[in-house]
Structure 1
């Protein structure tokens, strides 16, 4: 509770410092709602011309791709349009539990990915996994790349060739000189976004992502949408539920962004740091329980000392000339999302401290061929979060709040600052976050999935959305922290999701599932196998 209270206090301190930037629409967004209706009618008439995917040689034949045209600016639906990439795998109609028995098709299940900046184009391939086969039998699985991502009118803020710049530091208590350097970089990045995207930049935000979903719904020929949002994708989903409740059939929110307008996005960023600190402690405790495998110490404190020794050693001499403290911290931050990464991350740290840097370099090296996709994802992340809401424009506010926070949550705090700091110097007018809500009878019953120790989207967000959407049901995985529960290793969670999507059946207002099994340690020399994400 101490961390939660700290974030609450920090949030109250900054409220008076947030600049009330001009809104780009009125509170109802009347012009944009009319524009969405116009765009949806056009999309319904046009449909989607599905065919081979651009990279079809690498994809199973069942998946097809197409495009949907949406307005860049919904207030001007007859103005410039952009194309969103959409993918689909048709319902198999084959019940995996009953052989040749066919099941009725229930329509399209549209997926909104995380990030912001991630693509959902490969979502239909999830139907190949055993955990998804019953859902894939009943639904066309549909994914898309949100505006700005991949081929969907891609954004860029800097030259991708300069995006991966080699080994980087990761100070948990940065010097004043280092802070000045990062402020300069944030200003340059914000300037690059404005210069490379021009006036179009202001139209990349979560409200437009929600409107885009309604146009995609219409293009698919669905009067009411069955929808799944994961991580960041739960936020445009919540906006959609508020803006278009009559267009919802069923909706799953998996790992929920806290939707309170006052928390979008600066206060949500603050809340992540203590949550990641807890999850980092969980990871270290797991390593300590398997000291016989990794030899990193029998307590979480000893494991931390080993991690800090590795970070200091990498600062003095990057592994392979490529992996520094920043890459190490980034890799272990990813392990805070997914516990199936714990075995091979622990093995890499153990091997490095024993003189073998190869596993560390293999896992944490930045590959130049991935730079274009990584830079695009970063650009969309920054643009959407900066456009969505006011941010503090004085670095002294960031410095004050995060210096305090880093005293109790040093692992992720400053990393989060540098990730979001371009928003302090953003050159585009901000949106005003919508007050997410649905009263009794306004929205069909919805399903919320959340892990109690999730770091990326802390559990309080699920509780908040549950309160805001009347008729919603919350399923909690207790004492677990994996980010993204749908179709994962917890059969209890998957059972509730299947019952809802296939039968419209929900448990009581709040159901609980025991945690999934912890990952098994991997002995040095073997290979850890986890779920891909």
Structure 2
């Protein structure tokens, strides 16, 4: 799950797929067993539709080819397409194509255990770079890649998968934007107007039919169709950040289709948390991790010269914000751009030193370093399209997934209260999510995540000081997925734990994926190494 994002028209929908044989239809319809709850929510039609689409995909398979040159994926990575219905209640209606890619296992035929499918989060993130963990010879994944094909995909609406849009990409990235922290009621009203216009833009540029179906539940159904197209009877899955919620929903809708599942940096899946409360929780957690970074910067004052205490570093941050508000640095870096850049520090430990270095250079008189780091690149057409598309998908999924408050007084009250003690992200996060208050399509009821028949042991990995997905989310999913195992990185806070070097965690990930075995109880690991200047 992402916080504030740094700074094409929808492709034509494919025609409905040909009718499958009577045998395939019969097998597909017999597959789901809708519970009383799903029938009550009207989801039994989607369950049947998902089974039909999966059967159709299993029959068609994937026509793997060399990836298009402009996708940027080298051989032996291959790319292909999986066709899914826009609306699973109408599986023979409009279809879209999802982009997938893969690299085969590096071990022997006997060592192969199937495909490992990855989602990096968002909503709005592309997983297509996942096979490059093999081509770039990432040491963390050497053992697992011997046993598994690494498979990535663009979820519906993302990248190459019928991308949606809410705003002209150049308008989306242009800077400077208004200061997210309001001084007056007029500032708040201006932001409300922008949020309403953004929601209207999503409808205008993406269309009601598609926008209504941009949900996590549908992406989970897409994931099952991908599983079937890969020829896999059961899914092996690695999900990070929002990808953990996608995994939790998949595990609830298709418990008998899971073989191995790792969820890393976990969204709290409680229905009451999706998504308004989740974003308020982020504001609190980001403040805590921001202070962790300031403490580290102060500890390394000999390198950065930003102050020997947290309060001293914070004072320089507030001074920087005030300067940028009075006159945007380089004409393009205002307070909004500063938050977009500096939020990477509480997100990822790997950003601690680079962020501190840019800050230090600015204080020493090098303003260009800050402009280069924080200002959007208006000439980067492809990157700007990607940024706008990612934000559009984030908004569409979170706004459609759940019912959001429509009362401005509630938004104003909650965020004014939080901002007093947690000012780093609160208002910026509020404005980013405010389009959900005037969302133009029907908002859904989130899936009630729980253990279903056939769900195997799920591995949950979480750091205790994660800002984007607070620790409580892992605890909640652990309760809901009976028999799951929780691996805790105590005292750490980088978002995305399985991609870091920590033998206590890395060895358990390998063991689980290669053998299915876990510890007999939950495990607490010491943190990975603290960054060095």
Alignment of 1:91-490 (within 5 A): 91-93=105-107, 104-127=111-134, 128-199=137-208, 200-368=210-378, 369=380, 370-438=383-451, 442-490=454-502
Shift of 1:357: 1.1
- 1:63-121 deviation digits (Å, cap 9, x = unpaired): 11000000000000010000000010100116xxxxxxx86100000012200011001
Partner of 1:79: 93
Partner of 2:21: none
Contact 1:255 1:457 in 2 (8 A): yes
Shift of 1:445: 0.6
Change (3 A) 1:431 1:171: closer
Shift of 1:161: 2.1
**Which of 56, 66, 82 lines up with 1:68 in the alignment?**
82
Q: Does 1:53 align with 2:67?
A: yes
- 1:416-463 deviation digits (Å, cap 9, x = unpaired): 101100000001001111110005x63111100000000100000000
Partner of 1:6: none
TM-score in terms of structure 1 length: 0.90
Which secondary structure state, in structure 2, belongs to the residue aligned with residue 407 of structure 1?
helix
CA distance in 2, matches of 1:471, 1:322: 51
Contiguous gaps of at least 5 residues in structure 2 = 1-36
Contact 1:24 1:430 in 2 (8 A): no
CA distance in 1, matches of 2:248, 2:512: 18
Alignment of 1:488-507 (within 5 A): 488-507=500-519
Which secondary structure state, in structure 2, belongs to the residue aligned with residue 271 of structure 1?
helix
Contact 2:86 2:93 in 1 (8 A): yes
Change (3 A) 1:373 1:24: farther
- 1:200-243 deviation digits (Å, cap 9, x = unpaired): 21011100000000000000000011111110011111011011
Q: Alignment RMSD, CA only? A: 1.6
Change (3 A) 1:69 1:110: same
Q: Does 1:510 align with 2:522?
A: yes
CA distance in 2, matches of 1:75, 1:58: 35
CA distance in 2, matches of 1:289, 1:508: 39
Shift of 1:353: 1.3
Which secondary structure state, in structure 1, belongs to the residue aligned with residue 343 of structure 2?
helix
Shift of 1:271: 0.5
Contact 1:241 1:438 in 2 (8 A): yes
Shift of 1:344: 1.2
CA distance in 1, matches of 2:491, 2:413: 32
CA distance in 2, matches of 1:181, 1:35: 43
Partner of 1:525: none
Shift of 1:255: 0.6
Aligned length: 491
Contact 1:112 1:143 in 2 (8 A): yes
CA distance in 1, matches of 2:150, 2:227: 13
Contiguous gaps of at least 5 residues in structure 1 = 1-22, 95-101, 522-533
Contact 2:38 2:44 in 1 (8 A): no
CA distance in 2, matches of 1:38, 1:188: 38
Contact 1:170 1:329 in 2 (8 A): no
TM-score in terms of structure 2 length: 0.90
Partner of 1:8: none
